[in-house]
Amino acid sequence: MLNPILLLEGVLQEYEKTLTVYHSVGDALTVKGGVVGDKIEDRLPRGFVIAKVVDLGSYGGNDGEECVVMATMRKVGKYEVGKTIGEGTFAKVKFAQNTETGESVAMKVLAKSTILKHKMVNQIKREISIMKIIRHPYIVRLHEVLASQTKIYIILEFITGGELFDKIVHQGKLSERESRRHFQQLIDAVDYCHSKGVYHRDLKPENLLLDSQGNLKVSDFGLSALSQEGVELLHTTCGTPNYVAPEVLSHQGYDGSAADVWSCGVILYVLMAGYLPFDETDLPTLYAKV
């Protein structure tokens, strides 16, 4: 069982102005500090996350008044788990740190009950299998996969620069030089995937991350497919409507590599223009334009 008092050694002084330890049970740490509405989790020692607000009544509860929170040290395998940095329909992504190496990672957490409920077992198996066989500087790397009785933990490379989508939203269209750089990296990654028989099928700026050096990293292989011997065409209609190739919408089968290349072309347009070539709120009208 973790001892939160020992875990606080060496860092308590740094936080003594905002945190006061007054009770500990097992691996849970109860602290008083900060103010309601403040980001208390940012003031907690590394590895601690807020589990719940324990008591507001004793210390008020209005903005500017102190509150009491229960913070816990969460650990999965050799990873200390921090706060949530992303959340999708079926999974949460949390910041975590390898306690052996100090390396920061992204931990994708999926509940087994959700996977079973939505019949996603084969999809998750396929995503993990694909990420195990691809190793490329412009693709988010899979470190390992862990599991408990109730959850699956996919340990991924931690990318700090955010989504390419957010960069376009805030900056607008990119310069020709910057667009060329990102597009070359994208094509390099996609060509590598195709050489491995992997088709992404959901390429879009939201699934393209940027590292601290501004290099592009392809992520989210949840809709990807593997080539199969004797099967020339794919038939599952998937992807994001604004970026899918017309043949994907035809329901007559499509070449996975050609569909990915179409999506890359749409992404290049967005990089250079700052807006989508096909953009309608009404899906039938959008499909007609595509």
User: Is 202 an annotated catalytic residue?
Assistant: yes
Q: How far apart are CA 70 and CA 72, in angstroms?
A: 7
Q: Which residues of 112-134 are buried (b: 16+ CB within 10 A; e: fewer)?
A: eeebeeeebeeebebbeebbeeb
Which amino acid would we find at residue 120? M
Assess contact for 237 and 137: CB atoms under 8 A: no
Residue whose token pair is 């009491």: 68
**Whole-angstrom Cα distance, residue 19 to residue 34?**
7
Nearest to 220 by CA among 236, 235, 204: 204
Helix, strand, coil abundance in the chain, percent, nearest 5: 30, 30, 40
∠ Cα 225 228 234 (to 5°): 55
Contact criterion met (CB below 8 Å) for 155 and 144: yes
Is 39 part of any known ligand binding site? no
Q: Which is the catalytic residue, given 202, 255, 279, 282? A: 202
Do 218 and 189 touch, CB atoms closer than 8 A?
Answer: yes
Output the known binding site for ATP. 117
Active site residues: 202
Output the known binding site. 117
